[in-house]
């Protein structure tokens, strides 16, 4: 006894439909990943632009973050303002760090270099992290090469 022709056709159609649905799902995932990447990059560049605009409007502060100007060069109430700006910049740096996995490899390298350079060129950022390092992840501090004992805050 032979099987009717339709008994072979139905599984073939089902397999083709399953493969099509899998490709549609994969395509959706790829588009979602591209969208996340594009959004992350746009957000980082927008925030970086805001930071640059801040330093253009407030030229006094830029050397404390890009030219190794020491904290002791800030006078009186300026030190409190400087340390608030250091917190703001460090928070941006951590945001960059959190977004790194969603960035393409070559873009990621540039952003890593950027935040490491900010850390290296700013005694204010280093002081902020020395005092408030517990606010940030150990992985972020290690990426920067922070010369602080971060583990003391995470003993629990």
pLDDT tens per residue, range 71-83: 999 988 999 999 9
Q: Which residue has the tokens 């746009």?
A: 42
Alpha-carbon span 119 to 132, nearest angstrom: 14
Alpha-carbon distance values, 127 to 38, 82, 99, 103, 132 (Å) = 33, 11, 24, 29, 8
Domain parsing of the chain, residue ranges: 36-154
At 42 the pLDDT is: 86
Please state, in angstroms and rounded to a whole number, the distance separating the CA atoms of residues 66 and 118: 6
Q: What is the pTM of this model?
A: 0.73
Q: What is the pLDDT along the chain (156 residues), one digit of tens a residue?
A: 556 665 666 666 667 667 666 667 666 665 555 566 577 788 888 999 999 999 999 999 999 999 999 999 998 899 999 999 999 999 999 999 999 998 889 989 999 999 999 999 999 999 999 999 999 999 999 999 876 655 555 555
């Amino acid at each position: 006894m032979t099987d009717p022709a339709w008994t072979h056709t139905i599984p073939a159609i089902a397999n083709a439909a399953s493969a099509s649905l899998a490709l549609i799902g994969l395509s959706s995932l790829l588009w979602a990943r591209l969208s996340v990447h594009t959004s992350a990059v746009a957000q980082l560049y927008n925030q970086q632009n805001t930071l640059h605009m801040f330093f253009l409007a407030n030229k006094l502060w830029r050397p404390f973050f890009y030219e190794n100007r020491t904290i002791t060069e800030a006078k009186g109430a300026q030190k409190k303002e400087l340390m608030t700006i250091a917190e703001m910049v460090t928070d941006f740096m951590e945001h960059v760090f959190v977004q790194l996995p969603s960035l393409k490899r070559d873009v990621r390298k540039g952003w890593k270099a950027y935040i490491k350079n900010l850390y290296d060129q700013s005694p204010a950022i280093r002081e902020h992290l020395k005092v408030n390092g517990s606010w940030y992840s150990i992985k972020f501090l290690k990426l920067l090469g922070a010369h602080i004992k971060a583990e003391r805050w995470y003993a629990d």
